[in-house]
Chain A
């Protein structure tokens, strides 16, 4: 170890209490950053996973162009058969797969009418790609693929003033442009927690939908949900390999299906960083104060060093190393403690009063698991290191202005 490094290290311990206090401040912010960032990223995973499991799914096979312009004619041919083939593929074992058809209709009951989204679902397989079948507020979910029945969002039911057992009239456009109409009993009302779904979604069994809308055996989407969202790239590859060629079918992941969710996460991530940066800046100023004190009280010593032939840059490097060592001590402590806290909650889950009740209403877990990864753990400390080292440049640069004679006479 060169004398400069040795000197920098020993200078830290001239006032151990001050060094420990400063290192503790850095450690505390680091701990907070490690925990909060891992928790924030974990909450995004939970948010994405939960949102996708309610209705959209992680991946959908659609006819190219349907996403941008959802016309009833833009179909996935032989949707049920394709979904069945996928379910039989060993590459998609443990993956929930269900075919759907989608259209728009006017829903009427008595004197009230509302525009609704109508979805044809496979009652047997829909529970593996959507939580709606488990979120029935009253009644039951759809029974058979060709049963003449419907389930309706709770808000829509309230708006239409209907309840389980009442009849619902659907009037829309069939695939060939003719009038599509049916009257079905409502067998259940669901409450997904997603306002749009609860206000405008009606689900029919897929065959009933196909008959009503003149779809033949076609659908509009095959919805897929894997046990773990992290496996999405592999899932997409496996699905793409199973798609029949020349039909214009594409596999779209959730980021394409609901870009709003990603934008919401990005906005939340950015606003989170405003708070983090404010926290870091406050701590950086208190650390800067320590650095400046440490330099000011050694003005005479620096004056002597300049007289002996040390350049201001050399002394600046010394001060920079002192700051670096101090920061690294704080970061190491903070990262160690932060990792311990984050690891504990990544195993046992983190919650706060009211979260479990809120999430439980929609069939979702009430625990957030911090996401431990190199990036989630190292990002906060790296930003702190950058800020603190930037701050340490100030006292290092002040040394450039020192005059050896004046410095040696400093009190």
Chain B
């Protein structure tokens, strides 16, 4: 089976002055292509740290991480930026849209970094915004959109360039339950229709119910890993 993510004996220790914090201990994980995986666990359990390591935003203290065939623990800063740009998508808890750009421009921003031509950018951005249900709102800035709409823009931005993997860190944390459910339906739709692997972290039971695989972390260790129907 082809795996999008493979973690082998991954540990992460944060050191600040004389204090060391073991954030992750001996994580072993394989996530097949097109999976829809939820990382759950209490605050401080290591969910976000694991997402950051998989996304190449941070380096493990020890162990190996392979994403889409690339050893992210060995790549330098430039190669990691390239990997994130072309093969990964990110959805953040607080959306992190660029406030002075419109919804369409926010989606186009990543494509511009990729060097996609303006006409193609514009077309793709319009199509994906329509697909996430923001038809007619393309020219609004983030401040003129609701939280749910902003998170949809973030999803559109993450998915527009057809990445292999989308990492979503608590994507519904700032949304009400109805909006959160709609968003999860959208993510599942993207997972199926666009053939993208999703890994997201959450505390929310409703969000966990959408996953096909639920991995539970506690004190930096995987304590449960089960497939769901």
Contacts and interface: CB of A to CB of B under 8 A. Distances in A.
Nearest to B96: A304
Interface string B132-153: 0000000000000000000000
Contacts of A309: 81-86, 88, 110, 113-114
Given A11-B100, A309-B81, A2 B92 contact: no
Interface in A1-29: 2-4, 6-7, 10-11, 13-14
A101 interface: no
Contacts of A4: 112
B108 interface: yes
Contact of A307 (B55, B100, B101): B55
Given A7-B109, A301-B99, 14 more contacts: A2-B112, A3-B109, A6-B105, A300-B96, A304-B92, A306-B57, A307-B92, A308-B84, A308-B90, A309-B83, A309-B84, A309-B114, A310-B113, A408-B96
Nearest to B100: A10
Nearest to A304: B96
A279 interface: no
B74 to A, nearest CB: 18
B108 A3 contact: yes
Contact of A311 (B78, B88, B105): B78
A308 B85 contact: yes
A309 B81 CA distance: 5
Given A301-B96, A314-B113, A307 B57 contact: yes
B58 interface: yes
Contacts of B108: 3
A301 B82 CA distance: 19
B179 interface: no
Interface residues of B, number: 27
Interface in B2-21: none
A81 interface: no
19 contacts: A3-B108, A3-B109, A7-B98, A7-B101, A10-B100, A14-B100, A300-B96, A301-B99, A304-B92, A306-B81, A307-B84, A307-B92, A309-B82, A309-B85, A309-B88, A309-B113, A310-B113, A311-B78, A405-B58
B180 to A, nearest CB: 21
A311 B99 CA distance: 20
Query: Closest 4 interchain pairs by CB?
Result: A309-B85, A304-B96, A10-B100, A309-B84
Nearest to A400: B77
B100 A408 contact: no
B100 A310 contact: no
B105 A307 contact: no
A306 B105 CA distance: 17
Interface string A282-306: 0000000000000000001100111
Nearest to B121: A3
A310 B83 CA distance: 11
Contacts of B28: none
B66 interface: no
A308 B114 CA distance: 11
A404 interface: yes
A211 B162 CA distance: 104
Most chain B CB neighbours (cut-off 10 Å) among A2, A3, A4, A7? A3
B25 interface: no
Interface string A231-248: 000000000000000000
Nearest to A8: B100
Contacts of B100: 7, 10-11, 13-14
Interface string A380-393: 00000000000000
Contacts of A305: 98
B48 to A, nearest CB: 9
B147 to A, nearest CB: 16
B62 interface: no
Contacts of B105: 3, 6
A13 B141 CA distance: 14
Contact of B98 (A301, A306, A311, A314): A301
Nearest to B167: A307
B52 interface: yes
Most chain A CB neighbours (cut-off 10 Å) among B52, B84, B98? B98
Contacts of B92: 304, 307, 408
Nearest to B141: A10
B57 A308 contact: no
B52 A308 contact: no
A6 B112 CA distance: 12
A165 B90 CA distance: 103
Contacts of B99: 14, 301
Contact of A3 (B55, B57, B78, B112): B112
B110 A308 contact: yes
A307 B110 CA distance: 11
Interface in A106-160: none
A191 to B, nearest CB: 69
Nearest to B95: A304
